[in-house]
C-alpha cells in the first residue's frame, strides 16, 4: 500500500539510475527552479489558488511513476514500445517522470492555457535533461515529443494518447490530500472547493482487485467526493488508463462511492 506524498518519488527512483539522474538534473536546473517558483507566484500569491510548485511536482511525479509501475507489472503494454518510439522500456519511464515534474510550469505565465503553454515552455528544459542521460540524439527527440505530449494532455479538453501520458494526468489529480486539491480554489474562501479539499485525508495507490490499479481516497466528510468527481474521473476518462483503474471514495473507513471500468 503506497501513500501519495512527496517522499514517494524517492522510493520510485531508488532502483532506477537513469530516472534518478534525470530527476536530479531537472531539479537542479535554475530555469526549472524559477519556473516552479513563478508558477506559485502566479497561482498562489496572485490568483490565491493552491500549490502548483516544486512540492506538487514531486508528489505528481511519484504518483505517476507508481501508476506506471503497477501497469508494467501487470503486463500492460507501453504505448511508446508498441508504436516503436523506444525499443527499451527503460526509456519510456522518462515520460511519466519528466511530464509530471514539468506539467505545471505553464502557470509561470498564466493559469489560462497553462498546459498548452507549459508543453512548449518545457521544450528546452527537456532537451537539456535528456542530453545528460541519453546519447542517441534521435531517441532524445522522440522522447521529447512524448514528454511534451504528456504535459499538453493534462488539460481536461485534450485526449491523452499514451499510457505514459495518462499516468501524468492521473498522477496530477492524485495530489489532493490535506487541502492540496487539484480543482483550484480560492485560498481562504469557504465554498464547495475549499470544504471538499480539506475533507481529503489521504490518497493511496494499491494493486487492484479486477484492474492493475486501485486508488483509495480517504476523506473525513462526504464533501470530499467533489474532488473525486471533478478531478480524478474527468482526467481518468480522457486517458487510456480508464480501463485499468478502479477508484474507491472512503468516508471515515466506510466506502461511499466506487468507480470501476464499464
Are 122 and 151 in contact by the 8 Å Cβ rule? The answer is yes
For the stretch 17-57, pLDDT in tens is: 999 999 999 999 999 999 999 999 998 888 878 789 999 99
Residues of the chain with pLDDT under 50: none
| H helix intervals, 155-260 | 163-173, 192-199, 225-227, 233-237
Statement to judge: residues 35 and 158 lie in one domain: yes
Q: Which residues contact 253 (CB under 8 A, 6 or more apart)?
A: none
What is the C-alpha to C-alpha distance for residues 83 and 119, in angstroms, rounded to an integer?
21
**Does 18 share its domain with 65?**
yes
Residues written for the chain: 262
11 shares its domain with 111: yes
Q: Is the pTM of this model over 0.85?
A: yes
Domain that holds residue 209: 176-259
Count structural domains, the chain: 2
| 158 and 185 fall within a common domain | no
C-alpha 246 chain-centroid distance: 17
Boundary-marking domain end, from 172, 196, 228: 172
Amino acid at each position: 500500500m503506497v501513500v501519495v506524498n512527496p517522499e514517494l518519488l524517492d522510493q520510485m527512483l531508488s532502483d532506477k539510475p537513469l530516472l534518478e539522474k534525470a530527476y536530479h538534473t531537472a531539479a537542479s536546473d535554475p530555469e526549472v527552479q524559477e519556473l516552479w517558483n513563478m508558477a506559485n507566484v502566479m497561482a498562489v500569491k496572485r490568483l490565491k489558488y493552491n500549490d502548483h510548485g516544486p512540492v506538487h511536482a514531486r508528489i505528481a511525479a511519484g504518483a505517476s511513476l507508481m501508476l506506471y509501475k503497477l501497469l508494467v507489472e501487470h503486463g500492460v503494454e507501453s504505448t511508446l514500445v508498441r508504436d516503436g518510439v523506444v525499443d527499451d522500456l527503460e526509456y519510456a519511464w522518462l515520460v511519466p517522470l519528466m511530464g509530471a515534474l514539468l506539467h505545471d510550469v505553464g502557470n509561470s505565465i498564466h493559469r489560462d492555457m497553462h498546459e498548452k503553454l507549459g508543453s512548449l515552455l518545457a521544450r528546452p528544459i527537456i532537451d537539456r535533461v535528456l542530453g545528460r542521460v541519453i546519447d542517441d540524439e534521435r531517441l532524445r527527440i522522440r522522447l521529447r515529443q512524448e514528454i511534451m505530449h504528456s504535459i499538453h494532455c493534462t488539460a481536461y479538453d485534450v485526449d491523452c494518447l499514451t499510457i505514459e501520458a495518462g499516468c501524468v494526468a492521473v498522477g496530477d489529480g492524485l495530489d489532493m490530500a490535506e487541502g492540496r486539491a487539484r480543482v483550484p480554489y480560492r485560498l481562504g474562501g469557504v465554498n464547495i472547493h475549499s470544504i471538499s479539499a480539506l475533507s481529503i485525508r489521504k490518497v493511496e495507490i494499491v494493486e487492484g482487485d479486477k484492474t492493475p490499479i486501485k486508488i483509495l481516497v480517504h476523506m473525513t466528510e462526504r464533501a470530499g467526493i467533489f474532488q473525486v468527481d471533478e478531478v480524478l474521473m474527468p482526467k481518468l476518462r480522457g486517458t487510456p488508463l480508464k480501463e485499468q483503474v478502479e477508484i474507491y471514495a472512503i468516508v471515515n473507513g466506510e466506502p461511499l462511492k466506487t468507480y470501476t471500468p464499464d
